Structure 1
Amino acid sequence: MLWYQIVFLAVIQGLTEFLPISSSAHLILPAQLLGWQDQGLAFDVAVHVGTLLAIVGYFRKDIMQIIVAWCVSIRDKQSTPNSRLGWWICLATLPACVAGLVFDGFIETHLRSLEVIAYTTIGFGVLLWLSDRYGATTKSEQDLGFKSVLYIGFAQALALIPGTSRSGITMTAARFLGFSRESAARFSFLLSIPLILAAGGLKSIELVSSNLAVDWGGIFMGVILSAISAYICIYLFLKWLNTIGFFPFFVYRLILGLVLLVIVYL
């Protein structure tokens, strides 16, 4: 890829990975509108590493506390808010892992199309707005329980469908359950860590086994730019979320979905 393509795609990936607007929809548009080539497996690995660095860097204190408490809970059978949060993250990750193993082939064959992405972008955008408009705001992360975590976990599994948005669907589920905007966003972000780690690991294995030539300069640029843009995105999103809500993201998804439909049918 040319340098400006690397810059554009890395920044877009970093921004859209954590906003509730679907990164898959945004990464397919340049190829459709500008005729760019697919970014390739090596670049996918790079931006996954970048977004993982961003989320781990931002929540580093929380992550360390959760890991320590989780390990202590295994050793001493002691339950604390942080140890429970660790177990909830593990539990909520399972449905997406199972769904990925079972349905990956079907999704790759039948659902990776502009038409599907257009309808899911609009449909799940409407659900996001409804959850924020009518959901209560009485619960925090301490109110997470077995049923609510499974509900969010199964919702996350739907994000395997392109255009859904992993962050968007998990925040939607949490808001419908009555969790505050900030609590829904924080749990969604923490929940992304094992999945990004798993996805990046699988893509890395594919890359190593493929013996593809790697543009290490482009890879390094992709990691750095996606990490910086993702970190800034997380910071600003959490800072402004209670003020702006999810309505602007619903409007954006609606416009994006309509643009994609125009591309599909015209």
Structure 2
Amino acid sequence: MTWFESFILGLVQGLTEFLPISSSAHLRLTAAFADWHDPGAAFTAITQIGTEAAVLIYFRKDIARIITAWSRSLVNKELRGDHDAQMGWLVIVGSIPIGVLGVTLKDQIEGPFRDLRLTATTLIVMGIVLGVADRLAARDETGGKHRSIRERKTLSELGVRDGLIFGICQAMALVPGVSRSGATISGGLLMGYTREAAARYSFLLAIPAVLASGVFELKDAGSSGHISWGPTVFATVIAFVVGYAVIAWFMKFITTKSFMPFVIYRVLLGIVLFVLIAAGVLSPHAAESAG
């Protein structure tokens, strides 16, 4: 991997990690369209450490409050009913599905799941799911037939069942094209949470999963020697800087705007991929064997 490639891939990672359009799919597609070698699951996992560092800094007050309350509740039973202490447990519970499936499906994640036909399918299908969830939320917020915005759930109403469902949605992002934020936000909206609540929990829930995945890949990459460390670290730094700016923008965007631009983008990109593959312009395994 060249330094230019690492810069572009780090930029793509930072721009797409927190938007509901799938960073893993865009890293894969960037390599395919540029005729570069597929950066692979290890590169993706390691550069995600950069974007998660942005989450840690942006949500530092929330994270510090949750960790403090959770830690204190371990020795003080009276604090176990505190919302922040409960949130600590809910993040742990929600991380179980992706932890189990990530280990179980490791070979598939690094192999068959990277087929561009599957990526195109998940881009379209999950785009439609996000669109439906967004329309339901919009109808509630405008006082439609169902709920008003005041009746939509906040994180104070999050329980073990919903936390586990959020976690299952997050685990779907092991397939490129699904999108971690897209899947968890869609799940949250369908369960009746506000856009802000669904997005906030999505980002918090991703922290243990992404950091664990990154450390795991670091260990494997260090022993195998099959990674360009300089460019990878450079890409991780780029992803951190760009990712922080995207979080700040996205959290403001969702308070007043619809997810429909992302829905349209996902569906169109998926259709374009299918057309290019069907026409023979792009191989489903493009870039995998490129130098």
What's the secondary structure of 1:48's corresponding residue? Answer: helix
TM-score, structure 2 as length reference? 0.86
What's the secondary structure of 1:157's corresponding residue? Answer: helix
In structure 1, C-alpha distance between the alignment counterparts of 2:58 and 2:19, rounded to whole Å: 15
State the AA in 1 paired with 2:185: M
Which residues of 2 match residues 71-220 of structure 1 at below 5 A?
Answer: 71-77=71-77, 78=79, 79-135=81-137, 136=140, 137=149, 138-212=152-226, 214-216=228-230, 218-220=231-233
In structure 2, C-alpha distance between the alignment counterparts of 1:116 and 1:108, rounded to whole Å: 13
Deviation of 1:263 (Å)? 2.2
State the AA in 2 paired with 1:126: I
Q: Which stretch shows the higher mean deviation, 207-216 or 126-135? A: 207-216
Deviation of 1:103 (Å)? 2.7
In structure 1, C-alpha distance between the alignment counterparts of 2:264 and 2:34, rounded to whole Å: 24
What's the secondary structure of 1:111's corresponding residue? Answer: helix
Match of 2:234 among 221, 230, 245: 221
In structure 2, C-alpha distance between the alignment counterparts of 1:109 and 1:257, rounded to whole Å: 20
What's the secondary structure of 1:75's corresponding residue? Answer: coil
**Offset from partner CA, 1:26-76 (integer Å, 9 cap, x none):** 111122222112336774465122112111111111111100000011111
What's the secondary structure of 2:114's corresponding residue? Answer: coil
What's the secondary structure of 1:237's corresponding residue? Answer: helix
Give the unaligned 5+ runs of structure 2: 141-148, 280-291
1:140–1:179 Cα contact (<8 Å) kept: yes
In structure 1, C-alpha distance between the alignment counterparts of 2:42 and 2:119, rounded to whole Å: 24
Cα separation, partners in 2 of 1:30 and 1:58, compared to 1, 3 Å: same
In structure 1, C-alpha distance between the alignment counterparts of 2:260 and 2:36, rounded to whole Å: 31
2:45–2:210 Cα contact (<8 Å) kept: no
2:134–2:258 Cα contact (<8 Å) kept: yes
Paired residues in the alignment total 265
In the other structure, the counterpart of 2:282 is none
Give the unaligned 5+ runs of structure 1: none
Deviation of 1:195 (Å)? 0.9
Tell me how large the CA RMSD over aligned residues is.
1.8
**Offset from partner CA, 1:166-217 (integer Å, 9 cap, x none):** 110000000001100011000000111001111101111011111347442x
TM-score, structure 1 as length reference? 0.93
What's the secondary structure of 1:24's corresponding residue? Answer: helix
The answer to whether residue 277 in structure 2 is matched with residue 261 in structure 1 is no
In the other structure, the counterpart of 2:261 is 248
What's the secondary structure of 1:262's corresponding residue? Answer: helix
Deviation of 1:101 (Å)? 2.3
In structure 2, C-alpha distance between the alignment counterparts of 1:168 and 1:162, rounded to whole Å: 12
In structure 1, C-alpha distance between the alignment counterparts of 2:165 and 2:227, rounded to whole Å: 42
**Offset from partner CA, 1:217-255 (integer Å, 9 cap, x none):** x24421221001110110000011122221111011111
